[in-house]
Amino acid sequence: MKARLNIILVSHTPEPESTVSAAARLCYSPANIKDVVCGKKNDKSQPFLKKLISMGHMSPLEHASFTFAIEGISRACSHQLVRHRLASYSQQSQRYVGTEDEFKYVIPTAIKDNEELRHIFEKAMESINNDYQKLVKELIKAGRRREEALEDARFILPNAAETKIIMTMNARELLHFFNQRLCMRAQWEIRNMAMEMLKIVKKVAPVIFANAGPMCLSGKCPEGQFACGKTEEVRKYFHTLTSGNVMEE
């Protein structure tokens, strides 16, 4: 059963940009905390925030956090995601959550668009699923508790198997995440996911994420000889971000 990407912004810091602005103003203002906090909604918040980011004073951005619920990604994708350590994760367990029918999986586009390759891939998924279901049933029949059967049977599940995860990141780490994962050199699945996340947070914090994207947006591509060769095309795309699609490699 094919999985579909779905991302929901579960919650975020109320008025994230005003909160970040207030935190930054405290650093530069002799005013007391009450004055800074009560005045955080003033009309100068956005210009101040833009100046703050342009100066590279990024620590106040850590006061704004965003929590996403993500489904329809593969275990291969989630393994990459959790390498971003300045974040909190809660992932659906393959030990406690099994399936009585067939597990969902993600098909790479290059395989999905080729009839012959897709047939090979789907046949492999069907075979694994049949063996997985058989292992679970036989282990339970042999006296193992359900969770024990699932934790042993899961060893044959593929990287393509779908997973669900809830993740919380602060704004500063999200910007770093977008730097890394919106690069054309990033793996296609996590790039798709990052793009959808960016579109979501732009709506609630447009100033903070105004220039979010791969590192080549604001300077030379750091990939050297491995650069994608599409720097100008990438810059144009992110500066006029209106499409629902991610650039193709």
Give me the active site residues, please.
181
CA trace torsion 196, 187, 124, 132 (10° rounding)? -70
Measuring CA to CA, which residue among 103, 95, 140 is closest to residue 3?
103
> 116 φ, ψ to 5°?
-65, -45
CA distances from 57 to 25, 28, 66, 154, 206 (A): 11, 12, 20, 45, 18
- Quote the distance between the C-alpha of residue 49 and its chain's center: 24
- Quote the distance between the C-alpha of residue 32 and its chain's center: 38
Are 81 and 190 within 8 A, CB to CB? yes
